[in-house]
Structure 1
Amino acid sequence: MALSRTIVIAGAGIGGLTAALALAARGFRVVVLEKTERLEEVGAGLQLSPNASRVLVELGLEDRLKPRAVTPEAVCIMSARAGGELLRMPLGAVASARAGAPYWVVHRADLQSALAGAVSEHPDIELKLGATFEDVAPHAKGLTIVHRSGTIRRSDLASALIGADGVWSTVRKQLFPEVQPRFSGLIAWRGTFEATQLPREYTARRVQLWMGPNAHLVAYPIAGGRQINVVAVLPGTWNRPGWSTPGDPLEVMDAFAGSRWPSSARMMLGAVDSWRKWALFGVPEGCGWSKGPIALLGDAVHAMLPFAAQGAGMAIEDAAVLARHLTGDTTESAAGVAAALKSYGRARQARVQKVQRTARQQGRIYHFTGPLAIARDLAIRALGPERMLARQDWIYGWRP
């Protein structure tokens, strides 16, 4: 009996929607289960370096994203200790020409909207909102996947199930119940402000990275340059349900007060009216990627610290590689699907772990104090813009 040509994806985040488009482009019927009743903004801005934007462009999303994205001219690396800019790494046309794809910064809601629009127009993708994944069992044609909409339980037949349901993945709990997300001890404060609130030198088309004692700050334009996205990362504790909650502006301003932080950095923080605190959780390295005809993707398998700006990028890469492996005669039998998913995990594991380690290391470097901070600043200045950009080639130059 032939396997179903349907693949079910749990989760309609960036990774899940990208995977749906990539798999549909390979001839699969795709069902996406999303537990929320409607897709809403989660988070604020994100960076899409060329390794990620290349995949989105190849999926036909450039016209949808270009009006909403901003192409920053540079990453400005700033030191609170030194009081200003250490190095300006070129992006814009320089990075695009080097990597063969654009570097974009975009509001997460705009990216999700572009993906959802493409998904809704694709005849081979069905997005089921308000549908919570519950269970999965082997079936003669592959898998029976059970989901709930309100009080009604329904099922779909599929050849594979992809868990793209985030750091608290329900699919991962079924596959690898021993794997638990770990709190990093860091909290990201996220907010935005209108670009017109501050002079242009604070809101130019660039990514600002401020490094300081036990904290750092990132700011860049989103929404076509109309808004500035701000992320402040601080140590903290977390003992409440979930991982996101409203934040008190006075608390974040107090953390960046005093002579340790220049007035230009504090001015951007002061322009934000509404903050949300996000506890930064990660999935430990070594989590399994698949078991039989079920696989994980994105944060469900490798949620990482954001200090390499590659969380979304790695999920987008996962989607492209997954679709590449689920092709041809690999999906004609249950054993073929399982082998293809295992091969997908092997293809991704080493690269993703290297990015996870890079993110952890950069987070420590950003927060150096005393002599270590002095040495860091001297090393960055000595490196220079071109060599700093070249150090990103292994990330930006990736191709599916």
Structure 2
Amino acid sequence: MTAARTIVVAGAGIGGLTASLAFAAKGFRVIVLEKAERLAEAGAGLQISPNASRVLVDLGLADRLAPRAIAPDAVSVMSARTGRALLRLPLGEQAAARAGAPYWVLHRADLQAALRAQAEATPAIELRLGCVVEDYVSHTHGITVGHRRHGARGDTQALALIGADGIWSAVRSQLFPSSAPHFSGLIAWRGTVDAAALPQREPLRGVQLWMGPGAHLVVYPISGGRLVNLVAIVPDDWQREGWSAPGEPHEIQSRFAAAGWAPAARLLVEAVDSWKRWALFAMPDGGAWTAGATALLGDAAHGMLPFAAQGAAMAIEDAAVLAQCLGDSHGPGTSGDPLSVPASLQRYAQARRARVSRVQRLARQNGKIYHLTGAMALARDLAMQALGAERLMGRQSWIYDWRI
């Protein structure tokens, strides 16, 4: 297949691999350049809401994900003060029937492994590990991407370059040198624990969102229910880049003990023997999207705080919309003029910008609400109970009901 039908994707994370599969489904050849020598675990648990799961199902991933994904029965909003549930937001079959697609929780590594297996089974996709994008130049015939692998320099001619290389995107740094993520003042601690080691008598079947003074905790099962994922969010001025810096268990345990969290929450935190932590950075609202024959997606475009559980979902949505925009003007049976690529990428940006901005704002607002203290926290709890589960779930419908 000629360069006029080739797309280069920088990054083999969830967004990059999803985009590769979506491009291949539109008849493109895809070359994925990933700087890592191997695709190791990055992060731990993920929540994949129906707006994203329906994209994955449409790409043929349901059978690969079914053995590992869990459809939680509910989100229980927990009070750190009392240790009791304020309310229970139903998910499971009820949410799937309402949205027309499942709500899944799963290990990030399981999703990435399923995407990789699907990509490797797709002849139109070539995955090159240990390959770093060094530079790129747009021209009348598309784009030339310079890359280096095992010390050897190479150039690839393509229709477009897609930067799916994360919050510290090298593609974005060349495309928009002044656009960079900013530190939120929060860090996330993540850990997993064998489900059998938890102090709870009953297996955890749903998501628990614990809200407390200046911090919150999210807990849910992954890996077919064998493991439980914990993410604790606390304020801090530690700002190291990366996802997997080790954290001392006594440090996070002491934070929750000093803040007077209920014993049930502290027992969950104390059950984890090994913690990783990462500083939470986010892109400015609206993100950074496209110029010439280059476009960004996922965290590279709009890295956001994780407090709406939509980071991975927005990357998956991006991939589907981008493939459609390029496929409409460059798919089989079209003229495929490289000069029209910038317009196709601009349509993608226009289709995504407002929705992503709204999710970014929601995530930031949720973080503030979760961490309220004193009388404000009590007012929050009473307001949520007064609204009730049905109306609170209804406020999420604009996210979950999205379709391309």
Q: 1:348 and 1:111 mapped to 2: Cα distance?
A: 23
RMSD: 1.4
- Aligned-partner residue type, residue 392 of structure 1: Q
How do residues 62-81 of structure 1 correspond to structure 2 at under 5 angstroms? 62-81=62-81
Q: 1:201 and 1:62 mapped to 2: Cα distance?
A: 31
**What is the match of residue 347 of structure 2?**
343
Question: Which one is further off, 140-149 or 373-382?
Answer: 140-149
Mark the CA change 1:143 to 1:393 in structure 2 (over 3 Å): closer, same or farther: same
CA deviation after TM superposition for structure 1 residue 84, in Å: 1.3
Residue aligned with 2:257, SS: coil
**What is the match of residue 104 of structure 1?**
104
Q: 1:187 and 1:60 mapped to 2: Cα distance?
A: 35
**What is the match of residue 115 of structure 2?**
115
- Aligned-partner residue type, residue 399 of structure 1: R
**What is the match of residue 359 of structure 1?**
363
Aligned length: 399
How do residues 119-138 of structure 1 correspond to structure 2 at under 5 angstroms? 119-138=119-138
Q: 1:330 and 1:336 mapped to 2: Cα distance?
A: 9
* Cα displacement string for residues 188-237 of structure 1 (whole angstroms, at most 9, x for unaligned residues): 00000000012444642110000000000000000000000000000001
CA deviation after TM superposition for structure 1 residue 77, in Å: 0.1
Q: 1:218 and 1:239 mapped to 2: Cα distance?
A: 22
Q: 2:68 and 2:10 mapped to 1: Cα distance?
A: 27
Q: 2:201 and 2:383 mapped to 1: Cα distance?
A: 26
CA deviation after TM superposition for structure 1 residue 329, in Å: 3.3
CA deviation after TM superposition for structure 1 residue 26, in Å: 0.2
* Structure 2 residues without counterparts, runs of 5 or longer: none
Q: 1:52 and 1:202 mapped to 2: Cα distance?
A: 29
Residue aligned with 2:353, SS: helix
* Structure 1 residues without counterparts, runs of 5 or longer: none
Q: 1:175 and 1:93 mapped to 2: Cα distance?
A: 43
* Cα displacement string for residues 273-305 of structure 1 (whole angstroms, at most 9, x for unaligned residues): 100011000011243310011000000010000
Asked whether the 8 Å contact 1:133–1:146 carries over to 2, the reply is yes
Q: 2:216 and 2:169 mapped to 1: Cα distance?
A: 29
- Aligned-partner residue type, residue 102 of structure 2: P
Normalised to the residue count of structure 1, the TM-score between the two structures is: 0.97
CA deviation after TM superposition for structure 1 residue 79, in Å: 1.1
Residue aligned with 2:145, SS: strand
* Cα displacement string for residues 66-104 of structure 1 (whole angstroms, at most 9, x for unaligned residues): 100111000000111243110000000110000000000
CA deviation after TM superposition for structure 1 residue 335, in Å: 2.6
- Aligned-partner residue type, residue 119 of structure 1: A
Q: 2:384 and 2:25 mapped to 1: Cα distance?
A: 43
Residue aligned with 1:260, SS: coil
Asked whether the 8 Å contact 1:21–1:119 carries over to 2, the reply is yes
Question: Which one is further off, 31-40 or 75-84?
Answer: 75-84
Asked whether the 8 Å contact 1:220–1:229 carries over to 2, the reply is yes
Q: 2:142 and 2:340 mapped to 1: Cα distance?
A: 11
1:390 counterpart = 2:398: no
**What is the match of residue 252 of structure 2?**
252
Asked whether the 8 Å contact 1:3–1:334 carries over to 2, the reply is no
Asked whether the 8 Å contact 1:81–1:373 carries over to 2, the reply is no
Asked whether the 8 Å contact 1:78–1:86 carries over to 2, the reply is yes
* Cα displacement string for residues 3-54 of structure 1 (whole angstroms, at most 9, x for unaligned residues): 6100000000000000000000000000000000110000100100000100
Asked whether the 8 Å contact 1:50–1:397 carries over to 2, the reply is yes
How do residues 76-95 of structure 1 correspond to structure 2 at under 5 angstroms? 76-95=76-95
**What is the match of residue 21 of structure 1?**
21
1:204 counterpart = 2:204: yes
Question: Which one is further off, 206-215 or 131-140?
Answer: 131-140
Normalised to the residue count of structure 2, the TM-score between the two structures is: 0.96
Asked whether the 8 Å contact 1:282–1:303 carries over to 2, the reply is yes
1:325 counterpart = 2:329: no
Asked whether the 8 Å contact 2:239–2:279 carries over to 1, the reply is no
How do residues 295-310 of structure 1 correspond to structure 2 at under 5 angstroms? 295-310=295-310
Q: 2:201 and 2:313 mapped to 1: Cα distance?
A: 28
Asked whether the 8 Å contact 1:202–1:264 carries over to 2, the reply is no
**What is the match of residue 173 of structure 2?**
173
Q: 1:374 and 1:225 mapped to 2: Cα distance?
A: 33
* Cα displacement string for residues 326-385 of structure 1 (whole angstroms, at most 9, x for unaligned residues): 124347223311100000000000000000000000000000001110110001111111
Query: Which runs of at least 4 in structure 1 moved beyond 6 Å after TM superposition?
Result: none
Q: 1:203 and 1:277 mapped to 2: Cα distance?
A: 26
Asked whether the 8 Å contact 1:14–1:112 carries over to 2, the reply is yes
Q: 2:24 and 2:181 mapped to 1: Cα distance?
A: 31
Residue aligned with 2:69, SS: coil
Q: 1:252 and 1:259 mapped to 2: Cα distance?
A: 11
Asked whether the 8 Å contact 1:51–1:396 carries over to 2, the reply is yes
1:372 counterpart = 2:344: no
**What is the match of residue 49 of structure 1?**
49
- Aligned-partner residue type, residue 396 of structure 2: Q
- Aligned-partner residue type, residue 302 of structure 2: H
